[in-house]
């Protein structure tokens, strides 16, 4: 079987699974959180995997948009769809500003610029009155979609959330497969050549930055609606590190990679305490009981392992395995 034929089947099964999830015992809020991070990671990967730009400032879009949506919905009484729109637009605007500075430098310098600018936004968020400082923005109501559909039920919210994420995901797929996406890949492979072919690569990079930031903002807005709060931890640089990790674990070369990576990382963080308790029981080493408090250590270790031994990520390995098998069986592509 060839990878290209398998992919639609995989996505179809995934979507069916997600539609059925609330009825087979999955906790809707947890799955929604997962969906938000999956969307966030996919948006991030548009830059890393398809344009070759490592942004270490995506927390700014996630957290910035989360605050804007929270403020719009809670203080101005905006409806959820307007809140999402406001968040997405603010993400795009932040992306425009950050991208404009970032594309002035190449490679690792660009990464450091994104990190520094995001840190600036973090300090701003810490001091501005409307973010609630250390406490964050609490008690954001979900409200009624288009003034009609009450989102306070988790189940209703779940399907709205799923629909938004699927639409945004399809938008990213469309972007990647468009001529614009092809140019982005060209820039990633060889920027000087793309320039010599007459492409204004800076404009392409900037637009990719804006799209990625807008969708990351959408993910942050959605997260605020789902959970009912926006906090400093979303604008902190560790949130940027988090999304890099998801993409790295899942595999940055493919569309499905960040989805898988987000699921693995979020699930791991939620279950790590239980995992530690289990290990403690099995090995009778008490230290494992504290694993739940040591998420940072485990996350750091995963980072190191991924970089040293596992750079293709989960999806990358699977695809490589399928291709090897395909080639071995003589089917080719």
Binding residues for another protein, rule: CB under 8 A, are 54, 56, 101, 104-109, 111-113, 115-117, 119-120, 123-124, 126-127, 237, 241, 244, 248, 290, 293-297, 299-304, 306-308, 311
Q: Per-residue DSSP letters for 248-302?
A: HHH-TTSSHHHHHHHHHHHHHHHHHHHHHHHHHHHH--GGGGGGGGGHHHHHHHH
Beta bridge partners of 137: 230
DSSP code, position 141:
-
Nearer to another protein, 190 or 331 (CB): 190
Give me the sign of the Cα torsion angle 233, 235, 239, 243: positive
d(CA 14, CA 290): 34
Nearer to another protein, 168 or 245 (CB): 245
Question: 3-state DSSP call for residue 150?
Answer: strand
Instruction: Name the token pair of 55.
Output: 């942004």
What is the closest distance, in whole angstroms, from the C-beta atom of residue 107 to another protein in the complex? 6
What is the closest distance, in whole angstroms, from the C-beta atom of residue 100 to another protein in the complex? 9
d(CA 201, CA 181): 12
Nearer to another protein, 24 or 308 (CB): 308
Nearer to another protein, 149 or 302 (CB): 302
Inter-residue contact 235 to 119 (CB < 8 Å): no
The secondary element (H helix, E strand) that includes residue 170 is helix 154-177
Nearer to another protein, 27 or 101 (CB): 101
What is the closest distance, in whole angstroms, from the C-beta atom of residue 235 to another protein in the complex? 13
Angle at 307 between CA 301 and CA 308, to 5 degrees: 90
Instruction: Name the token pair of 229.
Output: 């709060």
Nearer to another protein, 102 or 175 (CB): 102
């Amino acid at each position: 079987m060839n990878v290209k034929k398998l992919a639609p089947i995989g996505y179809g099964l995934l979507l069916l699974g997600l539609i059925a999830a609330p009825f087979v015992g999955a906790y809707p809020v947890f799955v929604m959180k997962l969906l938000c991070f999956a969307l966030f990671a996919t948006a991030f990967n548009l830059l890393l995997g398809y344009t070759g730009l490592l942004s270490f400032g995506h927390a700014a879009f996630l957290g910035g948009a989360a605050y804007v949506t929270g403020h719009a919905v809670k203080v101005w009484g905006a409806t959820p769809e307007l809140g999402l729109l406001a968040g997405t637009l603010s993400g795009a605007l932040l992306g425009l500003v950050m991208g404009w500075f970032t594309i002035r430098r190449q490679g690792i310098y660009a990464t450091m610029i994104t990190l520094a600018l995001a840190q600036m936004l973090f300090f701003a968020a810490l001091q501005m009155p409307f973010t609630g400082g250390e406490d964050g923005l609490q008690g954001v109501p979900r409200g009624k979609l288009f003034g009609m559909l009450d989102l306070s039920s988790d189940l209703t919210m779940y399907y709205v959330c799923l629909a938004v994420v699927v639409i945004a995901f399809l938008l990213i797929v469309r972007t990647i497969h468009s001529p614009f996406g092809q140019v982005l890949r060209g820039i990633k492979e060889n920027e000087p050549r793309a320039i010599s072919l007459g492409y204004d690569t800076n404009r392409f990079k900037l637009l990719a930055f804006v799209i990625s930031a807008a969708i990351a903002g959408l993910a942050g807005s959605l997260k605020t609606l789902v959970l009912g709060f926006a906090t400093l931890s979303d604008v902190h640089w560790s949130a940027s590190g988090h999304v890099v990790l998801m993409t790295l674990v899942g595999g940055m070369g493919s569309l499905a990679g960040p989805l898988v990576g987000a699921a693995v990382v979020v699930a791991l963080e939620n279950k790590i305490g239980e995992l530690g308790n289990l290990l403690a029981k099995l090995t009778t080493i008490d230290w494992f009981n504290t694993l739940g408090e040591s998420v940072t250590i485990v996350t750091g270790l995963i980072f190191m392992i991924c970089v040293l031994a596992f750079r293709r990520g989960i999806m990358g390995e699977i695809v490589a395995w399928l291709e090897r098998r395909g080639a071995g069986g003589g089917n080719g592509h």
